Amino acid sequence: MSFAQRFSRSVLGGMALALLAVAVPAAAQTAGAPAANGAAKPPPRLAKIRETGVVTIAHRPDAFPVAYLDASKQPVGYGIDVCREIVRLLERDLKKPLKLAWVEVNARTRFEVINSGKADIECGNTINDPQRRKTAGYSMPYLFTGPRFLVRTDSKIRGIHDLAGKRIAVVPGTNSVPLLQQRIEGGILRGTQLVEYKGYDDCTRALERGEVDAFATIDLLLAGQRARSKNPEALQIVGSFLVLEPAAILLRKDDVEFKRTIDRYLASLMLDGVVERLYDKWFLQAIPPDNLKLELAMSSAMRDQLRWPTDRLGDELNR
């Protein structure tokens, strides 16, 4: 029995009851009230959204196919579509139309943008792990993935043990960096050098030019980078997952009311089949701007999550 199945009986019953009467509760805090340290605390998200009629979404421009820009420079992707569905449910419960505002972020700035209140949610490929939860809030998982390696097809690299003494491209602030650093310090990747690049596209170009021997990040993004490269056949994804990780919508930490609402909406979208249709759209079908097909089958962990929506998956999968 899967992990999600083991928790389903204790979680799903309460979740189902919550879904029968999803309502946006009234905010109990005063917007902009001073925090304990004297600094102005961002208002609760639901109170802010109700008052302004605006939902501000932080998005990545390069996290194809989870969040990126189309030919018209508009945010699109699996994560963007899921968050649009969440806004639709917010409009239903608030009984008013909501405007969308967009804030572009990268791997380093996304946390500050959310925690400062500059955006309400970040809809991308952000991994929920115990270390990050010390300072960030997350929805329940809405995607499962893990770091692997993109290499040149003509190389002899087939897994992590072939990368000792090699150069690996990484994007600062991504979860692959500490995972690889642990293996360098532990001797598995003796002599390996991590080479930082600003974005995923830069890493792929560096690999194509031969500046690095591999590019490490989650496999969903690697598949997108390979599909969009000048010669996809010249690149391949290799190796087992360094760890299987849950991606989630990034929220401000300790805004319990807002997290509860987002999780209820996500569970509803999963149980209604909406999330599965969006996964099929973005990972199995041809997608813009060049009608590329990633052909990434849904993992068993993701299938379990859609059948038994729960917030109790991530850490156990890492053991």
Q: Report the chain's mean pLDDT, rounded to a whole number.
A: 87
CATH number of the domain within which 153 lies: 3.40.190.10
Q: What is the structure's pLDDT at 297?
A: 84
Q: What is the structure's pLDDT at 14?
A: 42
Contact 181, 194 (CB under 8 A): yes
The two structure tokens encoding residue 70: 């189309």
Q: Is there a single domain that holds both residue 58 and residue 98?
A: yes
| Amino acid symbol at 84 | R
Tell me: pLDDT of 21 over 80: no
The two structure tokens encoding residue 235: 């690149």
Q: What is the structure's pLDDT at 300?
A: 87
Question: For the residues 112-141, what does the mean pLDDT come to?
Answer: 93
Write out the H or E segment, with its range, that includes residue 139.
Answer: strand 137-145
Tell me the per-residue pLDDT of 242-265, one tens digit each, with 9 for 90 and over.
998 899 999 999 999 999 999 999
Write out the H or E segment, with its range, that includes residue 59.
Answer: strand 54-59
Tell me: pLDDT of 268 over 60: yes
Q: What is the structure's pLDDT at 236?
A: 94
Tell me: pLDDT of 22 over 50: no
CA dihedral 112, 107, 82, 268 (to 10 degrees): -60
Q: Is there a single domain that holds both residue 176 and residue 282?
A: no
Q: Is there a single domain that holds both residue 139 and residue 151?
A: no
Q: Is there a single domain that holds both residue 287 and residue 165?
A: no
Domain end among 181, 212, 238: 238
Q: Is there a single domain that holds both residue 76 and residue 179?
A: no
H helical segments located in the chain: 3-20, 45-52, 78-94, 110-115, 176-185, 200-209, 219-228, 256-271, 274-283, 300-307, 314-317
Domain end among 238, 271, 289: 238
Q: Is there a single domain that holds both residue 82 and residue 118?
A: yes
Domain end among 179, 203, 238: 238
252 Cβ neighbours under 8 A, 6+ residues apart: 42, 45, 114, 115, 117, 137, 258
Question: For the residues 288-302, what does the mean pLDDT come to?
Answer: 87
Tell me: pLDDT of 218 over 70: yes
How many domains does the chain divide into? Answer: 2
Cα within 13 Å of Cα(198), Cβ side: 3
Instruction: State how far the alpha carbon of 40 is from the alpha carbons of 29, 32, 135, 273, in Å.
Output: 13, 6, 17, 41
Tell me: pLDDT of 5 over 70: no
* Ramachandran angles phi, psi of 304, nearest 5°: -60, -40
Q: Is there a single domain that holds both residue 36 and residue 60?
A: yes
Q: What is the structure's pLDDT at 315?
A: 54
Tell me: pLDDT of 23 over 70: no
Q: Is there a single domain that holds both residue 198 and residue 268?
A: no
Q: Facing residues of 204 across strands?
A: none
Q: What is the structure's pLDDT at 40?
A: 58
pTM of the model: 0.75
Question: For the residues 157-177, what does the mean pLDDT come to?
Answer: 95
Banded model confidence at residue 121, pLDDT cuts 50, 70, 90:
very high
Q: Is there a single domain that holds both residue 233 and residue 251?
A: no
Question: For the residues 221-225, what does the mean pLDDT come to?
Answer: 91
Q: Is there a single domain that holds both residue 138 and residue 258?
A: yes
Residue range(s) defining the domain that contains residue 173? 147-238
Q: What is the structure's pLDDT at 252?
A: 95
